Structure 1
Amino acid sequence: MARGKVQMRRIENATSRQVTFSKRRTGLLKKAYELSVLCDAEVAVIIFSQKGRLYEFSSTSEIRKTIDRYRRSTNDAATYQASMEQYILRLKQETTDMERKIELLEVSLRKLSGQCLGSCSMDEIQEIGDQLERSLSSIRERKAQLLNDQIQQLQAKERSLKEENAKLLAKCLANPGQSTTHPRATAIHSRSSRSTDGETRLFIGLAES
């Protein structure tokens, strides 16, 4: 015959309650022993009967060692939980401060762009104007520096090109027969030859009487 489902409530009959306690206590201690052996777990069980009698089981030599380990574990867990709560609170505070700073920066940016000036006092308007003047001055200085750097680079490039042209011209004049070896030298030599021919033509003709 199938065993009926036991209702989870206090057994009113004292005799039945004592019999059930003895059976279930024995089964619980047996399961604890099996768990410790099969799974190599540290197990401790403490049971007090209705009359205050103590029953216990420990997989170690002393149940107090297991109890001390449990206390250390709970204390560590409590300490970790407290530290995590403090860390979360600190993060929330930092987030709030950052949101406030961002809001102030956005308001300042709108004011610098000429918006939301209706609530500004004369001193605030003056401060905004001075700040804009300082910003414009810094921008102009940077712009002038960049332009000056570009001019210097172009002047250096110009000097380099002039030196290169002078070297090529000197080489062409020194070796006119080899001027065809370099295109730029050929062009320079051609211009030089035309110049020389022009000077020669000035002296060709009948002599003046």
Structure 2
Amino acid sequence: MARGKIQIRKIENSTNRQVTYSKRRNGLFKKASELTVLCDAKVSIIMVSCTDKLHEYISPSVTTKQFFDHYQKASGIDIWNSHYEKMQEELRQLKEVNKNLTRQIRQRLGDCLENLGFEELLDLEKESQEAVVIVRERKLKVIGNKVETLKKKVRSAQDVYKKLMHEFDIRGDDPQYGMIDDAGEYETMYGYPPHMAVEPPHILTLRLQPDNLHAVSSDLTTYALLG
């Protein structure tokens, strides 16, 4: 059964379009390889898909540069020179852009103002004022963020302090716990160095044995609450 003739037009379905591209690309490369072997021809095919993927085939007997040299010789077109001229033009345009930007930066620093007219100076002043407003807003935003961060840290420290004080109050209700607020008093009262002494405020809790709550010689266990 003969195959039906396919209408040559763009395939709308992207998946089918990609499949057709891959199949026909491989077919072209196969034909190019056969031409290279059968006819001793130098063949080069360059393809770019709709997804911007580059595919190329070139005869194994030549490099890409050699092939373009052959093309240049056969066509009489100096493609390298035209490419060099194009690159030189792009370089000239980039240098001009860089020159203009450098001049604008120096003008905003107060230099290169001699050749500016009155209207140009007014425009420069307006742009500078707008830039100052933007910078000031950005600075205030940064300061505000730092202040908010500091407030959060303060609130966190206050929460920790309240929690510690709450625990301290609970222990204060227990007759097994007592308070001492000075490390010197601690040494005077109990006759040995306070190994758990901290910098002021010196607040410690002391746990006394249940059988002798008022005995000074009782076994003492100290807990540092606040440093």
Q: What TM-score do you get using the length of structure 1 for normalisation? A: 0.49
User: Higher relative contact order at CA 8 Å, sep ≥6: structure 1 or structure 2?
Assistant: 2
- Please identify which structure carries the higher helix content: 1
TM-score normalised by the chain length of structure 2: 0.45
